[in-house]
């Protein structure tokens, strides 16, 4: 299997390294064409506004259509904002394929970045998680399964083929979160 990493802006290389550690082949994706033959796509953290501008509307639409076919996607931090159906203070989502509303920069400013450990349902305990100007999930639909919380706020969730995390699992050496996504992609691809 090959897992794609959206490579317009943000922490791209770190996701490639995490996939490498799991022995999973990866491909950086900049355009629609690059999506062919992939088993899943990771949308990295960075700056959601910048990524959305670099992606342009037609690419974002294509990603939305692809997600609706059941294609597995995993958004971390800014990637989670791109996948959310609602963003506080904004009329509409970008790709908008998971029924959650997020509040951007809810974890604080860049200088308030922090590392903590999370118990993640379906993944395990004491999973290290780095938060950098992270979004929190402020509400979610009934078909969304929240998987982890921090400070009483949901920070990880899944709805069928879409997985999102407020934090950056790729900035730690723990590969359990990536392993979960790879397992999910394998399951869906069967
Ligand atoms: N605050 C950023 C945004 O709104 C996300 C930060 C991150 O991805 N680390 O896009």
| Domain range list for the chain | 2-189
Q: At residue 7, does pLDDT exceed 90?
A: yes
In angstroms, the Cα distances linking 157 to 24, 35, 41, 54, 84 are: 23, 24, 16, 26, 11
Structure confidence at residue 145 as a pLDDT band (50, 70, 90): very high
Q: At residue 179, does pLDDT exceed 90?
A: yes
Token pair for 54:
């670099």
* Ligand 1 midpoint to CA 33 (Å): 26
CATH number at 2-189: 3.40.50.880
46 Cβ closer than 6 Å to some ligand 1 atom: yes
Which residue reads 């400013």 in tokens? 109
Among the listed residues 15, 140, 150, 168, the single catalytic one is 168
Cβ–Cβ < 8 Å for 122, 131: no
The pTM score is 0.97
Q: Is 15 a catalytic residue?
A: no
Nearest-CA residue for atom 5 of ligand 1: 78
Residues 88-99 have a mean pLDDT of 96
Cβ–Cβ < 8 Å for 16, 175: no
Residues 87-111 have a mean pLDDT of 93
């Amino acid at each position: 299997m090959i897992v794609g990493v959206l490579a317009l802006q943000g922490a791209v290389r770190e996701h490639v390294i995490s996939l490498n550690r799991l022995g999973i082949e990866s491909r950086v994706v900049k355009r629609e064409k690059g999506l062919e033959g992939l088993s899943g796509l990771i949308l990295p953290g960075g700056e959601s506004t910048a990524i959305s501008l670099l992606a342009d509307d037609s690419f974002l639409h294509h990603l939305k259509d692809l997600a609706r076919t059941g294609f597995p996607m995993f958004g971390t931090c800014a990637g989670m904002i791109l996948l959310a159906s609602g963003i506080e203070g904004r009329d509409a989502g970008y790709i908008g394929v998971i029924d959650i509303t997020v509040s951007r920069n809810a974890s604080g400013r860049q200088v308030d970045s922090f590392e903590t450990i999370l118990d993640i349902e379906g993944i395990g305990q004491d999973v290290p998680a780095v938060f950098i100007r992270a979004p929190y999930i402020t509400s979610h639909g009934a078909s969304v399964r929240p998987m982890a919380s921090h400070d009483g706020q949901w920070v990880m969730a899944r709805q069928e083929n879409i997985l999102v995390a407020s934090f950056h699992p790729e900035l730690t050496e723990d590969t359990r979160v990536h392993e979960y996504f790879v397992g999910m992609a394998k399951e869906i691809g069967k």
